[in-house]
Each structure stands twice: as C-alpha cells, then as structure tokens.
Amino acid sequence: MPLKKTQSVLFVASECFPLIKTGGLADVVGALPIALAHAGTNVTVFLPGFPKVLAGIESARTLAKIKTSDGPPAKLISGTTASGLNIIALDAPQYFDIEGNPYLDDTGNDRPDNGAKYAYFSKVAADVALGKIGRKKYDILHAHDWQAGLCAAYVKASGTTKLRTILTIHNLAFQGRFPKFLMASLGLPTSYYSRNGLEYWDQVSFLKAGIMYSDHITTVSPTYALEIQSDDGGMGFGGLLRARSQSISGLLNGIDLDVWNPETDPEIYKSYSAENPKGKAGNKSALQKALKLRPDAKAPLFTVISRLTTQKGLDLLADMTDFIVAEGGQIALLGSGDSAIEDAFNAAAKKHPTEISVTIGYDEPLAHQLQAGADAIFIPSRFEPCGLTQLCAMRYGTVPIVGRVGGLNDTVIDASPMALANGAATGVQFAPVNAHMLYSAISRAFDLYSNPAQWNQIVTNCLNQNVGWETSAADYRDLYASL
C-alpha cells in the first residue's frame, strides 16, 4: 500500500495562544496544530510579528528579508514556541510593533491602518505558502478570519493550481470591511472588485474575499455552519454562503486538555479530577475569600468570563443581578468590552459587594480560578460560533447555562427531565435568547442546584465530557487530504 503523503499546512492567523490572545481564535490556533501533529499533519503558524510574538519564539532565526515596493521593509522570523508550535512571524515594525489590543487603539476605535496591515500580512503569507519567499512550498494555506481573508485572493491571482486554500470563519460578525480606495493598493486584478469578488456594498471586505476565493470554508461548529447560511445568521453573507454550501463544513472546536486540566493546573487553589472531584469545593471557598465574597459553600456561585458585548447577551444578564442575589446566588465576573455593560455590572457589584465581584480586564490566571471555583457559568449568547468557555467549564465541572445557539447548541446537553433521567445532562440551555427565557433558565438552575444529588450528577457528567481536539483534528486532517 502506498504511504499516505503528509500534508504540510500553513495556518495564517492574527492570534495564537500563548503568544497573543484576545479571544477564542488564539486558543484554536494555539491548540489545533498540536492536535494535528498527533494526527500526522505538519502545521506552521504564520503570525504578525507583535512584540509578544517575537519574544515568545525560541531559537529564532531570520528566514528571509522582504523588500517590496508595496510594503514596508520586513523580516520573516522562524522558530518554535515552548508549547511546541512551529512559527513564522512577519516582523514588520511599522505595522506590528504595537502593544495592547492588536485591532483597536487606546480609544477603542479600529486602528486606522488595519486594512493596509492585514492586506500586507495576507500577501506575504500567500507568497510564503507558494514558496516565493523561503524555499518551502506548502500543500494547504489555512486562513483564519478576516485578517487572513485576502490570502485566498492572492493565491488565486498567482494562477497556481497546486496550493489549496481554506478559510475558517470564527465569527461572521467581523467582516474586515474597508473603504474601496484601498483596492488600488492591494496589488490584485481590478476585476476582483466585483460582486463575485471582494466588493461588498461599495466597500472591500477581506472576509468576503476569503469566502469567494477559498477552495473550502469551515466554521467552528455544525450548528453555526447552518446558521451562517440563513438570512438571519448570515449577517449579509447568507446568500453567498448558501451558494457555496457544498464547500462548507462545520467542525467543532475543542480545547487544549493540558492547558485546561484541573488535575495539573498551576493557577488553581486545589487540584481535582472526575475521579476525585473533592478539591473543587476548596477552589470555591478560596475564590470567595480572594474576591471578598461572603464565604458560603451552599450559595451557588455563578461566573462570567467573557468579552462584555451584546453578542454574548451580557446586557440581559446585567438586568438579572438583583434577582440572582435575592435567590441566594453569587456572581464573579471577569471581562471587558462595551462600557454600558461594564458600568451595569460595576453598579451591581457596588450594590451587592459581598455577593457580586466584578473584575474588568483580561486575566488568564483568574479565568482558570473562576472556572475551578464556580458552580456554574453564564453564556447567554445571542449568537456563538462555537464558544470555548463552556468547554473549559465542563472540563472543570462548572455547569454551563447557555443560549441555544451555534456551538453552545452542539456542546451542552440541556437538563431536561429525559436527559436527567438518562444521566446525560451537562447544563441548562434556553431559547430564544431574551430576558424572559434567561430568567426562566436561571430559575431552573437554582432548582437543579437545590437538589445536591442531581446537581452533583450534572457536575460529574460535565467532568466526563470529551472536550479535546482529537476528533476534530482527525476531521481537519481528512479535509486537507480530500482537497
């Protein structure tokens, strides 16, 4: 039997855990290549050369120097991370020597050079995958989100038939839209500025370029793959995506089971596992102490670890805080985002200082401590391509209370009487996502919690869920081979 050829894949993404992270994209780009390596596929991750990225590359060497008329002088730095990822970073200080949020400036507005910057990033990535820069030619260029959306257009424009392109849509709401004058500096054929190309309502859309020119499109859960092909969930791209229906797959995200492991997690107060779950109670009391919440083992402690945006439905939750406290519950929130939502939770914490703790900001260790110490996590998203915090929560025996959308639909089993009787329930789902249904989901969660045997069964079911990457990594490997 002939040996199967190992595919070589270039991931192109703007974030990668543990180097640079604003959300789940980074987790996926940091974990999937390692799972793919176990499945027999070689992945190199192409990243912007942000200071934190360059600092995190071990045994760094200069792969190439780039001098072109259509971009700033730059270098490609290659090396590996401590976590075992192969990285190529685009060290272009004019674009990437920035601290803080990679996409937003200090005032919370989009950085003015986002269009030029990620066009250049995608162009260089395409040239690397094509073997025009550096010596290696890749089999697959796998682009993630709008920041890498133009890669497929550059590959198409090169005329190659060998390199295959995939776009993964992590969130259709971020479409990479820029004024049409940018087209002139992209170095693409002018014919690409059309309805069948990257023109979108008189603008250019990098995400649309990815949708139109990639050989295949994936998204991060089966339900979201259907939602984005509808007029409601398609956010303007529903028709285009329906037309590409045969080339769309929904492959569920997983999480890195080593990064998220309550048995070995160095950030949490007490280790525990499905076999020996007792330590979870110690995490709860330590967390209540650390956050200056009223120490009470019996008060259900709810957490939120999230971008504070309307996508995540947290405006709805902000209206429920009095009710939750009146029922005897506590809330520990970590996140940042829309100022109205931040203000609402800050006000709630001020009103109930011993019952509600609010940390505005980004704090990786605290995220682990919250997952370990809380009884349940709220994810009342209006839409959710996959969602990773419910997977981390289940891994830590923390029960997810979620809107029944996207990946939350695919990963949480609602505690219906039938699921409870069968020992399958892992959380509480509600639909449609509105204040009324969230209220009734919270009431249900209190009811479930008031019956310790029942609650413990749900916690055990969560701890026993398989939330790793193994299955989906094999699916990605097979998809690469099929192309």
Residues near ligand ADP, by CB under 6 A: 23-25, 27, 305-307, 334-336, 362-364, 367, 386-389, 392
Assigned token pair, 63: 């792969």
Answer with the entry of ligand ADP, ligand GLC, none that 102 interacts with (C-beta below 5 to 8 A by kind).
Answer: none
Q: Which residue has 């080339």 as its token pair?
A: 247
Closer to ligand GLC by CB, 56 or 407: give it. 407
Assigned token pair, 371: 């997952």
Closer to ligand GLC by CB, 151 or 402: give it. 402
Are 190 and 240 a contacting pair, CB within 8 Å?
A: no
Considering only residues 83-142, where is the footprint of ligand GLC by CB under 6 A?
none
Minimum distance, C-beta of residue 35 to ligand GLC, in the bound complex (Å): 14
- Neighbour count for residue 171 (Cβ, 10 Å): 22
Exactly one of 23, 236, 328, 337 binds ligand GLC (CB under 6 A); that residue is: 23
| Segment lying near ligand GLC (by CB under 6 A), choices 115-123, 317-325, 361-369, 379-387 | 379-387
C-alpha to C-alpha distance for 48 and 76, rounded to whole angstroms: 10
- Neighbour count for residue 51 (Cβ, 10 Å): 14
Closer to ligand ADP by CB, 129 or 386: give it. 386
> Which one, of 220, 221, 385, 376, lies nearest residue 305 by Cα?
376
Answer with the entry of ligand ADP, ligand GLC, none that 334 interacts with (C-beta below 5 to 8 A by kind).
Answer: ligand ADP
Closer to ligand ADP by CB, 126 or 366: give it. 366
Closer to ligand ADP by CB, 27 or 414: give it. 27
| Segment lying near ligand GLC (by CB under 6 A), choices 65-73, 101-109, 126-134, 383-391 | 383-391
C-alpha to C-alpha distance for 401 and 313, rounded to whole angstroms: 12
Assigned token pair, 58: 């071990």
Closer to ligand GLC by CB, 325 or 341: give it. 341
Closer to ligand ADP by CB, 144 or 164: give it. 144
Exactly one of 139, 384, 410, 414 binds ligand GLC (CB under 6 A); that residue is: 384
Assigned token pair, 257: 């089971």
- Which residue number has the CB closest to ligand ADP? 24
Answer with the entry of ligand GLC, ligand ADP, none that 220 interacts with (C-beta below 5 to 8 A by kind).
Answer: ligand GLC
C-alpha to C-alpha distance for 324 and 355, rounded to whole angstroms: 9
SS3 323: helix
Exactly one of 48, 176, 233, 385 binds ligand GLC (CB under 6 A); that residue is: 385
Are 206 and 146 a contacting pair, CB within 8 Å?
A: yes
Closer to ligand GLC by CB, 255 or 301: give it. 255
Minimum distance, C-beta of residue 309 to ligand ADP, in the bound complex (Å): 8
Q: Which residues fall within 8 angstroms of residue 384, CB to CB, at 6 or more apart?
A: 224, 311, 312, 402, 403, 405, 406, 407, 408
Minimum distance, C-beta of residue 251 to ligand GLC, in the bound complex (Å): 10
Beta strand residue intervals within 234-315, DSSP E? 248-250, 301-308
The contact mask relative to ligand GLC for 196-235 (x = CB under 6 A, - = no) is ------------------------x---------------
Assigned token pair, 252: 């569920």
With both helix axes pointing from N to C terminus, report the angle between 24-38 and 470-482 in degrees, rounded to the nearest 10: 80
Closer to ligand ADP by CB, 26 or 92: give it. 26
> Which one, of 312, 468, 314, 306, lies nearest residue 374 by Cα?
306
Burial level of 179, CB count in 10 A (0-12/13-18/19+)? exposed
Answer with the entry of ligand ADP, ligand GLC, none that 51 interacts with (C-beta below 5 to 8 A by kind).
Answer: none
| Segment lying near ligand GLC (by CB under 6 A), choices 22-30, 156-164, 200-208, 298-306 | 22-30
Q: Which residues fall within 8 angstroms of residue 241, CB to CB, at 6 or more apart?
A: 211, 217, 228, 229, 234, 248
Q: Which residue has 């789902």 as its token pair?
A: 429
The site that binds ligand GLC (CB under 6 A) totals a number of residues, namely 14
Assigned token pair, 213: 């020119």
Minimum distance, C-beta of residue 307 to ligand ADP, in the bound complex (Å): 5
Closer to ligand GLC by CB, 129 or 391: give it. 391
SS3 376: strand
Ramachandran sector of residue 338 (left: φ over 0; alpha: ψ -120 to 50; beta: rest): beta
C-alpha to C-alpha distance for 298 and 308, rounded to whole angstroms: 28
Considering only residues 238-277, where is the footprint of ligand GLC by CB under 6 A?
253
- Which residue number has the CB closest to ligand GLC? 24
Minimum distance, C-beta of residue 371 to ligand ADP, in the bound complex (Å): 8
The contact mask relative to ligand GLC for 152-171 (x = CB under 6 A, - = no) is ------------------xx
Answer with the entry of ligand GLC, ligand ADP, none that 166 interacts with (C-beta below 5 to 8 A by kind).
Answer: none
The contact mask relative to ligand GLC for 387-426 (x = CB under 6 A, - = no) is xx------------------x-------------------
> Which one, of 318, 385, 309, lies nearest residue 349 by Cα?
318
C-alpha to C-alpha distance for 297 and 369, rounded to whole angstroms: 16
Which residues lie near ligand GLC (CB under 6 A)?
A: 23-25, 28, 170-171, 220, 253, 384-388, 407
